[in-house]
Structure 1
Amino acid sequence: MRRIHPLLALILVFLFAASPAFAIPQLRVVGSWSNLTAYLNLEEPFWTKKLPEALGGKTEVIMTSLGQVNLSGAAVLRAMDQSLFDVVHTVADYVVSDCPELAGLDLPALAPDIETARKVVEAYRPVLEKTLEGCFNAKLLTIMPYPAQVLFSNEKIGSLEDLKGKKIRASGWTTAEFIEALGATGVNLAFSEVPQSLQRGVVDGAVTGSLSGFNAGWGEVAKYLYPLPIGGWDYIIGVMRMDTWKGLSPEEQQTLTALIEKELEIPGWNATDRETQLGIACLTGQGECPGKTPAALELIPVAPGDLELARKILVERVLPAWAQKAGPEAVARWESTIGAVTGLKAK
């Protein structure tokens, strides 16, 4: 047997340690909305720069976005399961029609602040992992919140009760359930369709993240902003096709998981509270809006009692509706996780 010179062996060990191999030579990644900060500041730099650099340039990443693939709802995850993509970032609310248990993560008025949102996600994560695998053959990689989901309106309101009779766009059916409990009509519209719908009067208002709405031009077509987070946090889930995940060695899985947590998920959470306040400042002109021209929406103070009203609707209307769709086993899992954190029961 031919012996390798000790110096050559040492050089080879160094090279393989410095530039680790990766079992998947190419990753096809769908990011979330390409005009929003989650994609621009986090997803796109992570997949196209940070991950390839960490892997020594041994993996090619082909990156696109939800808007470019133009697959609505859960279709993008079904396409991933059919091997068209390896990784997808999408809003959890977009796919709950195919997988109702996912809706338990982000019910309206469930987590009124970012600290509670963190606790809710941490508690429910094991449930989400099993649910996403069962529904979509997907491995959960990351969960990040958009800025708090607030109300943009073309009608001035003094409180939530003034929404009665109005048409309000909701991003998911649980938010629509909440809106309808107020006597309003929940309207299902794609995110990209909202500005034109607000401008033409198709809807009177719409719910989305403050900075997301600003960056998408909602501040140019709405008149008022009501900053109560009635729509939850619109979590972005990042998932990998399970077959792709299983093609990685345990060491590669561990490396990818650690890198995603450090470079994608933790920065995403840290940015959320800051971006909620930045969005409100940019939409109203009340505060700094660095590098951008602020809009001039009128900021409506949250009415006394609206937090309590929102919680009442969650308990009496939204949770029972979700429980009926999700089924008793899902309800038991929710109550032992999120219910334990929030003190709520899904009756």
Structure 2
Amino acid sequence: MKNIKHTLVSSLFLMGAAASGSVQAADWTGYTYSAVSTTAAVKGMERITDRVEAETDNLTITLHLGKTLQIASSDITQAVGDGFIDFAADLFFSGNVPIARILNLPLLIQNDEQWDKAYAAMTPYLEEGFAEQGVTFLGAYRYPQQVIFTSFEMDSLDDLENHKIRVTSPEQGAFVEAFGGSPITLSGSEVPTALERGVIDGVLTASAGGAKNWHEFLDYNYRLPVNYAYSAVIANTDAYESLNEADRETLATIVNEETSKITEAFLVDEQAQKESQADAGMTIIEPKPEDLAKAQEALASFWQEWAREAGPEHEQALQDVLKALGK
């Protein structure tokens, strides 16, 4: 009789909780592509998880660094959509959300102000693209501009001709080819040996990115803003929608604030690393205005061709971005 009474009380409690709309505590699994805990990106993700625990009613996130779970970098968005993980930062999402690559197109975006305008125009497309994967797009942070570092003397675009440049995307490859160079794809771990042996003559990266580790092999930095890389911060849609409204709003606010701080931290580090590399003997060359104009003119047809091949939605998104940029 005692057990029956206890069961009845428990059932009535659960029914009352459901009727009042209360939500059970959620313990999410979080993941980031980066395996280095000292980067601005990981520190920012850690701040997000700390703030979520302190500021939400029913949510905690346990963050795992890159390579600590059996998830390939290119599969993070899919893992979130499948519910294997609930929350992530994904730098390699373009295979799952191809329309997002518009923001990576070479010479389309040339400064921070232009980035903000282009990103605002692309946000609805990003939200829709991730939603198709069962994923909620919460925000993004970006890395500094990808610029040109070389072992050979370079002070104009014409100097790229007949040189082999390591790239990290087809879009960067299109830029190198437009000026007579040969794009080479290598993993980051292969770059130092490739530079030392002359397999490649330069790289596209940031001062606060690959140049941090490879600067001893790179004598020149031509700071033409080729393109940007950015990371999406995402959540499994079912998990996100199961949160109460207050926690959803709090999570969105936290992500918005902390992704802005991550971007700013990268920009601060970019300036510090550029100065440090110059002090160590690297020659830093700012691009001539005519080179910027020449590069944009050369790549404009590539933007249109890329979007046309990708389909009507991509063409419309590109036009929205170009309109936002006044181009």
With the shorter chain as reference, the TM-score category is: 0.7 to 0.9
Which among 243, 258, 278 is matched to residue 253 of structure 2? 258
Query: Using a 3 Å threshold, how does the CA distance of structure 1 residues 202 and 35 change in structure 2: closer, same or farther?
Result: farther
Cα distance in 2 for partners of 1:184, 1:251 equals: 53
TM-score relative to the length of structure 2: 0.84
Contact 1:141 1:237 in 2 (8 A): yes
Which among 14, 31, 34 is matched to residue 32 of structure 1? 34
Aligned residue pair count = 306
- The 5 Å alignment of 1:1-347 reads 23-32=25-34, 34=36, 37-47=39-49, 49-55=50-56, 59-65=60-66, 67-69=67-69, 72=72, 74-91=74-91, 94-134=92-132, 136-215=133-212, 217-230=213-226, 232-262=227-257, 264-285=258-279, 295-316=280-301, 318-335=302-319, 337-344=320-327
Query: Using a 3 Å threshold, how does the CA distance of structure 1 residues 83 and 104 change in structure 2: closer, same or farther?
Result: same
Query: Using a 3 Å threshold, how does the CA distance of structure 1 residues 257 and 331 change in structure 2: closer, same or farther?
Result: same
Letter in 2 for 1:85: I
Cα distance in 2 for partners of 1:339, 1:329 equals: 14
Give the number of the structure whose alpha-carbon radius of gyration is greater. 2
TM-score relative to the length of structure 1: 0.79
Contact 2:155 2:222 in 1 (8 A): no
Cα distance in 1 for partners of 2:61, 2:286 equals: 49
Give 1:7's aligned residue.
none
Contact 2:150 2:218 in 1 (8 A): yes
1:163-200: CA deviation from partner (whole Å, max 9, x where unpaired): 11111122221111111111112222334443333233
Structure 1, gaps ≥5 residues long: 1-19, 286-294
Instruction: Give the superposition deviation at 1:234.
Output: 0.6
Q: Secondary structure at the match of 1:26?
A: strand
1:97-154: CA deviation from partner (whole Å, max 9, x where unpaired): 44331111221112211111111111211111101222x3221112111111111211
Cα distance in 2 for partners of 1:57, 1:246 equals: 13
Cα distance in 2 for partners of 1:275, 1:59 equals: 30
Instruction: Give the superposition deviation at 1:82.
Output: 2.9
Cα distance in 1 for partners of 2:182, 2:37 equals: 28
Query: Using a 3 Å threshold, how does the CA distance of structure 1 residues 256 and 226 change in structure 2: closer, same or farther?
Result: same
Cα distance in 1 for partners of 2:308, 2:190 equals: 30
Contact 2:33 2:65 in 1 (8 A): yes
Root-mean-square deviation (Å): 2.5
Query: Using a 3 Å threshold, how does the CA distance of structure 1 residues 129 and 253 change in structure 2: closer, same or farther?
Result: same
Letter in 2 for 1:64: L
Instruction: Give the superposition deviation at 1:275.
Output: 3.0
Instruction: Give the superposition deviation at 1:207.
Output: 0.9
Instruction: Give the superposition deviation at 1:257.
Output: 0.3
My pick for the range that moved more, 102-111 or 324-333, is 324-333
Cα distance in 2 for partners of 1:58, 1:96 equals: 28
Cα distance in 2 for partners of 1:70, 1:150 equals: 32
Q: Percent identity?
A: 25
Q: Secondary structure at the match of 1:104?
A: helix
Letter in 1 for 2:55: A
My pick for the range that moved more, 95-104 or 153-162, is 95-104
Letter in 1 for 2:45: E
Query: Using a 3 Å threshold, how does the CA distance of structure 1 residues 25 and 166 change in structure 2: closer, same or farther?
Result: same
Instruction: Give the superposition deviation at 1:220.
Output: 2.7
Q: Secondary structure at the match of 1:197?
A: helix
Structure 2, gaps ≥5 residues long: 1-21
